[in-house]
Amino acid sequence: MLRFIVRRLAQMVGVVFVLSLLLFIWLRMLPGGTVSAILGDRATPESRERLTKALGLDEPIWVQYWTYLKRAVTGNFGASTAVLPGRDAFDIFLTRFPATIELSFFAIMIAIVLGIPLGYLAARRRASFFDNASVIVSLIGVAVPVFFLAFLLKYIFAVKLGWLPVSGRQGNIDATRVTGFFVLDGLITREWDAAWDAFKHLILPAVTLSTIPFAVIFRITRASVLEVLDEDFVRTAESKGLTNRVIRGRHVLRNALLPVVTTIGLQVGGLLAGAILTETVFSFGGIGEALALSFRGRDYAVLQVLIMASAAIFVLVNLVVDILYAVIDPRVRTR
């Protein structure tokens, strides 16, 4: 098991390293580039040249990459040009990352807590009205553009009804920061109003972000339960006279959850992409919003760090999923 994990981690480092090289070359080959992004279109050739020299962009690309790598090892990934001009790109990632984790955590929790039981119920009542309706709803859920849903929820629940805050992570509350997860901070420091306020700010973005993972988890659970219900060992269990509770819990659910676990891991990548849209609509201040800002402002230093980080997180989460898989399914361990 340990060897497996170490090998996978080494693989991950390899992927991130190659990705960093590809991204670096790609980002620097772009027309326009950083200089135009900083100075705008009307800069004089002299000032352009000065900035090109100052940023080291006149050197051959492999020299630039080597410099970049040397600095990156010391934690210096270059300065942001658009998101927070002058700040180190990695700093921006670190300060914004907790917001995205908090948001994604709540979103995936909503998706799991609703998706698995509903998928199970739909499968047990196959072809009933409940089954058909929930399948249709989940298919519509996938067809709705995430940012439009965000606008819609914001318009109804924040603007028209005024039940929930419009944007941001916390209102005007003097809250103590410990971990950067605002709800958790409020709970640790016993500032209940701060925790409650941060939670209210989370509801709309988290619900928005949860729709696609919910739809996918729901459908996979349903399909997987249907498949397992048809297996011989379920029939054996029934003919042995086991109670329904034991059959469902030990035989059906446990076997049906395997593909669901894989799916949950896969959805994390989608959450990162969805967070770009959701966080932008709700001005949530996580790495998703930073990605949107750096796409708009062509902030290459930040883009490079954030895309690499996203890939690393995605690969890491899938590693965790594969380990979980081995925990749930003893058959995998022997391979």
- For another protein, the binding residues (CB under 8 A) are 4, 7-8, 11-12, 15, 18-19, 22, 26-27, 30-32, 139-140, 142-148, 151, 155, 159, 227, 262-263, 265-266, 269-270, 272-274, 276-277, 280, 291-292, 295-296, 298, 303, 307, 310-311, 314-315, 318-319, 321-322, 325, 332, 335
Residue number, 141 or 186, with CB nearest to another protein: 141
Residue number, 242 or 258, with CB nearest to another protein: 258
Alpha-carbon span 218 to 14, nearest angstrom: 34
Least separation in angstroms between CB 116 and another protein: 17
Alpha-carbon span 200 to 183, nearest angstrom: 10
Alpha-carbon span 264 to 324, nearest angstrom: 11
300-328 and 89-124 helices, crossing angle to 10°? 40
Least separation in angstroms between CB 30 and another protein: 6
Residue number, 189 or 318, with CB nearest to another protein: 318
Least separation in angstroms between CB 258 and another protein: 11
Residue number, 114 or 144, with CB nearest to another protein: 144
Least separation in angstroms between CB 294 and another protein: 8
Contact (Cβ atoms closer than 8 angstroms) between residue 289 and residue 306: no
Least separation in angstroms between CB 154 and another protein: 9
Residue 141 main-chain phi, psi, to 5 deg: -55, -35
Least separation in angstroms between CB 167 and another protein: 12
Paired with 310 in beta bridges are none
Residues contacting 28, CB < 8 A, separation 6+: 57, 61, 64, 300
Q: Which two tokens stand for residue 293?
A: 């800002």
Q: Which two tokens stand for residue 263?
A: 């799916």
Residue number, 23 or 242, with CB nearest to another protein: 23
Burial of 176 (0-12, 13-18, 19+ CB in 10 A): exposed
Side-chain-side CA neighbours of 260 within 13 Å: the count stands at 30
Q: Encode burial over 95-113: b for 16+ CB neighbours within 10 A, e otherwise.
A: bbbbbbebbbbbbbebbbe
Side-chain-side CA neighbours of 300 within 13 Å: the count stands at 20
Least separation in angstroms between CB 190 and another protein: 37
Residue number, 198 or 313, with CB nearest to another protein: 313
Residues contacting 309, CB < 8 A, separation 6+: 93, 97, 287
Residue number, 69 or 246, with CB nearest to another protein: 69
Least separation in angstroms between CB 321 and another protein: 5
Residue number, 116 or 271, with CB nearest to another protein: 271
Least separation in angstroms between CB 55 and another protein: 19
Alpha helices in the chain (DSSP H): 2-28, 33-39, 45-54, 61-73, 89-124, 129-143, 146-153, 182-188, 192-229, 232-240, 244-246, 254-281, 287-297, 300-328, 330-333
Residue indicated by tokens 């709800």: 183
Residue number, 195 or 305, with CB nearest to another protein: 305
